[in-house]
Structure 1
């Protein structure tokens, strides 16, 4: 099969991607073998490292963390899926014509969805739901601040919060020509990082109370604003750190406002924990896709062979929505 392989070349400063012919994957007992119709690009892909999941000894490291496609073989221990089923999900080695996925993490493609739409759901919406609802304890009527709202996970968080009845949804980001699109998705107020006084504006918007939940994709530089913006007994959930991993925490504010600060990651979860995460996602969010209340945003499509150019486009941070690869 054809696949995008992460390679290290002598003299290169960092790994690169190459379009190669490699052996077809063989599904294990708990896995599905999928003919990939679309693969998605995530920011972590830009690291080109074992964040993708290390390969078995002697096998190439194929890039990619999410895909959708048609099941063409099932492992001996799988009974929930059959050949011909359309599935989407998080896995490793997704930048390829064929990929395997643990059946416990596979989701059925909603009946009205294209493969492109399904791939755009596979990683960012479960991540957003886990941050906002499970860890942020969001429910209808609560207010939300999304730091980095124009990112893929930020957009998904916005859509989920709107669909689940948020009272107010504010978001931050760089000066963005797509701010009007965020408003169309339900954003109450867009604040420009480095220009607007985030804490002052959020408190003004919430009559001095602060928001119930902060979902943060920025990291270190956003910590002081997060603490100021969240209300008494509120929750701050850190998902990413595009602005850096370190920042100062004012423990007096943390204690005085009884703030809960939570970090989330898929990488350290057990199989059972991941299974539970996807069960919660299927309960709360999957029906919104089926009903048409939620529709994922597609930014651009590239052929699989152009994966390097697609990653370069993501690094420019000018896109709005999901960047996809087509085998």
Structure 2
């Protein structure tokens, strides 16, 4: 099969052996796969262990038909239209654990649209609801809101009853579109006064829950406009994994600072994450309540160009590979 593989010379699209599913795994004939920021780290050799290194096939989420199932898999059959997260999605065939395989909603979704759903839905439901403990009527702020998962986070927050949603983006054009996806306020973290705008919009209280995909130099400003006893869930570090941290501000506002990642989760923990998302959101997914814009579609053979497009950071929504 053809696949986008990490090599000593960089990412190359080349022939690779077709994988075979284990007892609790599903083999998917991939029709579309989406790019995620984590793919850039793997492509650059910054990931470790099973997630990266020469020979690694890129890709975290994908959609297509079930080609085969393991001996212990139930409820999923060859030929089913599915969307899933797993490993090696930039390929003609990819493996997913059965707990991370979702049926494509029966509303004529394209493969490209279906492939945008798994990671964004599961990651942001986990951040907002499971770890963030979002309650109805609370105010939410999404840092890095113009990314695909950020756009999904705002939609989930509104669906789960948030009373106010703020989103950030340093790009004026992208910031201007955040309202389409649930933002009541769009702010530019490049403007030194941005925390004041959030405080003003929340009556001086600040956001009850912050989902932070930026980190780095923005953390102290983010804490300034987090409510006393509020929560910050650290999902990503687009602005850098190091930065000054005002411990007095953190203590004075009594902020719960929560870190999340998939790298240290067991198979059962990830299955539980997907089960919780399905419990709360899947009915709405089937009704078409959540969607992400597709910025650009590249053929699999142009995976390197697709990664360069993501690295340039000029896209809005998801970048997709058609397989």
Indicate the TM-score class for this superposition, using the shorter chain for normalisation. over 0.9
Match of 2:211 in 1: 215
Q: Report the CA distance between 1:247 and its aligned residue.
A: 2.0
User: Any residues of structure 2 matched to 1:156-305 within 5 Å, and which?
Assistant: 156-305=152-301
The answer for unaligned runs of 5 or more in structure 1 is 10-15
Match of 1:12 in 2: none
Match of 1:23 in 2: 17
Q: Report the CA distance between 1:50 and its aligned residue.
A: 7.1
User: Any residues of structure 2 matched to 1:119-130 within 5 Å, and which?
Assistant: 119-130=115-126
**For 2:58, which of 60, 63, 66 is the aligned residue?**
63
Q: Report the CA distance between 1:293 and its aligned residue.
A: 1.7
In structure 2, how many angstroms separate the alpha carbons of the residues matched to 1:31 and 1:198?
46
Query: Is this contact kept in 1: 2:131–2:233, CA < 8 A?
Result: yes
In structure 1, how many angstroms separate the alpha carbons of the residues matched to 2:241 and 2:48?
20
Match of 2:3 in 1: 3
CA deviations 1:19-62 (Å, max 9, x no partner) are 111111111111111100101111111121374863899x9321
Normalising by structure 2, what TM-score? 0.94
Q: Report the CA distance between 1:123 and its aligned residue.
A: 0.9
Normalising by structure 1, what TM-score? 0.93
Query: Is this contact kept in 2: 1:163–1:294, CA < 8 A?
Result: no
- Answer yes or no: is 1:79 the counterpart of 2:45: no
In structure 1, how many angstroms separate the alpha carbons of the residues matched to 2:250 and 2:4?
45
In structure 1, how many angstroms separate the alpha carbons of the residues matched to 2:237 and 2:287?
33
Q: Which moved more, 1:23-32 or 1:193-202?
A: 193-202
Q: Report the CA distance between 1:270 and its aligned residue.
A: 0.7
Query: Is this contact kept in 2: 1:45–1:52, CA < 8 A?
Result: no
In structure 1, how many angstroms separate the alpha carbons of the residues matched to 2:62 and 2:88?
9
Task: Figure out how many residues of one structure are paired with residues of the other and give that number.
Answer: 320
Query: Is this contact kept in 2: 1:159–1:185, CA < 8 A?
Result: yes
SS of corresponding position for 1:285: helix
Match of 1:42 in 2: 36
In structure 1, how many angstroms separate the alpha carbons of the residues matched to 2:51 and 2:210?
36
SS of corresponding position for 1:232: strand
SS of corresponding position for 2:176: helix
In structure 2, how many angstroms separate the alpha carbons of the residues matched to 1:56 and 1:322?
22
CA deviations 1:265-294 (Å, max 9, x no partner) are 011001111111001110112221111221
What is the alpha-carbon root mean square deviation over aligned residues? 1.9
Query: Is this contact kept in 2: 1:4–1:19, CA < 8 A?
Result: yes
Query: Is this contact kept in 2: 1:4–1:96, CA < 8 A?
Result: yes
CA deviations 1:165-214 (Å, max 9, x no partner) are 22111122213313232112221111112225122111111111111101
Q: Which moved more, 1:23-32 or 1:301-310?
A: 23-32
Query: Is this contact kept in 1: 2:148–2:292, CA < 8 A?
Result: no
In structure 1, how many angstroms separate the alpha carbons of the residues matched to 2:37 and 2:116?
13
